[in-house]
Amino acid sequence: MTNPEGYSPGLEGVIGGITSIATVENGLCYRGYPVEELVKECNFEEVAFLLLYGELPTAREYNEFASRVYAARRLTLPIRDFLKAIPKWTMPLDALRTAVSALAHSDQDVEDNTREGNLRKGERLIAQLPVAIADHYRFSKGLQPIQASQELSQAANFLYMIRGSEPSPEDTKAMDVSLILYAEHEFNASTFTARTIVSTESDLHSAVVGGIGALKGKLHGGANEKVMPILEAIGSKENAESWVMASLQRKERLMGFGHRVYKKGDVRASILKPYARQLAEQKNLMLWEEIAEIVEEVMAREKKMYPNLDWPAGRLYHAMGLEIPIYTPIFAMSRVAGWSAHVIEQLGNNRLIRPRALYQGPPLRSVKPMDQRN
């Protein structure tokens, strides 16, 4: 079947709305700032403020924003009891999805869809998602959760709550860079889901729950969890090229490569790659970096496909000693800043998102009585 004029499968290339938050044209910019510069000059908190409020913070604005976010790093007792009670095999992203839904019940601004109300809720969710991930992780291991710090940065506090000890400056910086790079990416699947939800005049928590649901799929957020299994399946540098060639011959999709928008490579992957390599060198894990390099070379040569952000992120988190099931939740705890910004923008000039479908079913027909149906 040929595609009729005006129809684009997966809405590829279709303009779905207007935004001033981010663009992926000629790289990636947040509010006009190239991510390369943001990574170099800012931390995640500054970038989250930029996404929410439209400008980078002054020193006073930064301190006030950080104080509000750090003070909100807590969950209600019923939510913590829920995270402790759910089956140990519950996937962390599923636990996070339900925790966000439950957080709405204790947020007095839940029905406030003004810009100011959503800014307050967005700040709180930026604070609460890392806590929910860390608490569930430790409960699932039979460990007591670690109380959040009111002093550490987002990156450092998350690693502290997972591990129970403060991270090194190198781990903190690498985590911070990954959070900045995952924070926003224009009209991706989860963000478009969030905008569609609030276009009905629903609420921010519902939009974030929907965003997490969209993020669960391996074609969007789950790809970073597939990186280490690929490298471990390859096993050695000597096996790398033949393994990739065999995979391509079987027409298998290699997760961590290719992107709907970036055809010549994802700038975020090139930014994060040196951090993954640095940690691998520190922790005697260079085998995975060496295999990854060969895989990249073969994919570029054979398919003209290049790494996306998930490819180095999976290796980076592995070098930090983090377990694979929390990789996509880390994506979510970063992207909640972008989701919140898009919710606020959508509601600021809202129109219900309601596309049409191209019908190709049976032609018009009449209903027959049951005894006349074949």
Catalytic residues: 259, 310
- CB-based burial, 309-336: b 16+ in 10 Å, e otherwise: bbbbbbbbbbbbebebbbbbbbbbbbbb
Nearest by Cα to 346 from 116, 17, 13: 17
Distances (CA, A) of 292 to 56, 76, 314: 35, 42, 11
Distance from chain centroid for Cα 282: 26
Distance CA(153)–CA(91), nearest Å, equals 26
Nearest by Cα to 125 from 280, 285, 334, 353: 334
Tell me how far apart the 2 most distant CA atoms of the chain are, in Å: 78
One-letter amino acid of 285: L
Sign of the dihedral through C-alpha 211, 213, 216, 220? negative
**Sheet of strand 29-30: strand arrangement:** 22-23, 29-30, 33-34
Residue 33 per-residue DSSP state: E
Q: Which residues contact residue 259 at a Cβ distance below 8 angstroms, ignoring those fewer than 6 apart?
A: 266, 308
Q: Would you state the structure tokens that stand for residue 153, as one six-digit string?
A: 């940065």
Residue 256 CB coordination number (10 Å): 27
Q: Are 24 and 263 in contact (CB under 8 A)?
A: no
Distance CA(344)–CA(119), nearest Å, equals 8
Residue 47 CB coordination number (10 Å): 28
Q: Are 189 and 220 in contact (CB under 8 A)?
A: yes
